[in-house]
Amino acid sequence: QVQLVESGGGLVQAGGSLRLSCAASGRTFSTYGMGWFRQAPGKEREFVAAVNWSGNNIYYTESVNGRFSISRDNAKNTMYLQMNSLKPEDTAVYYCAAGRAGTYPTKAYGYDYWGQGTQVTVSS
């Protein structure tokens, strides 16, 4: 069992930055693939970024590529999402997720555990 807790969300103006953190419980964090997803009001949950267990394989959705950066620190059982040049369309609840298999890193069904989410609001 893995418990995930997101933090770092908030209100920021367009063009600003935020850094999200996802703290994981348990001793097996380093064996899990990790991802960030987001869900805006009235929309489906969508993939944002993912990193494999070692940090060597990283994936981004096209809309955030070049603006967001995902990373992980296995020694601290924590994953991060650095978000720069934020846009109003980035407004959403951001969720972190952990998956044992790591087979489908860009798909929600590829993950076994989810956090409760943290709100990110970007004002224009």
92-116 pLDDT per residue, tens? 999 999 998 778 999 999 999 999 9
Tell me the residue type at 56. N
Can you give the pLDDT at residue 37? 98
Can you give the pLDDT at residue 78? 96
Query: With a cut of 50, which residues of the chain have pLDDT below it?
Result: none
Instruction: Label the pairing between strands 113-114 and 33-39.
Output: unpaired
Q: How far apart are CA 32 and CA 45, in angstroms?
A: 21
Can you give the pLDDT at residue 11? 98
Can you give the pLDDT at residue 82? 98
Long-range contacts of 24-27, Cβ-Cβ distance < 8 Å, separation of 24 or more: 24/77, 24/78, 24/79, 24/98, 25/1, 25/77, 26/1, 26/2, 26/77
DSSP letter at 120 equals E
88 backbone φψ class: left, alpha, beta (φ>0; ψ -120 to 50): alpha
Query: Are 47 and 62 contacting, i.e. CB atoms less than 8 angstroms apart?
Result: no
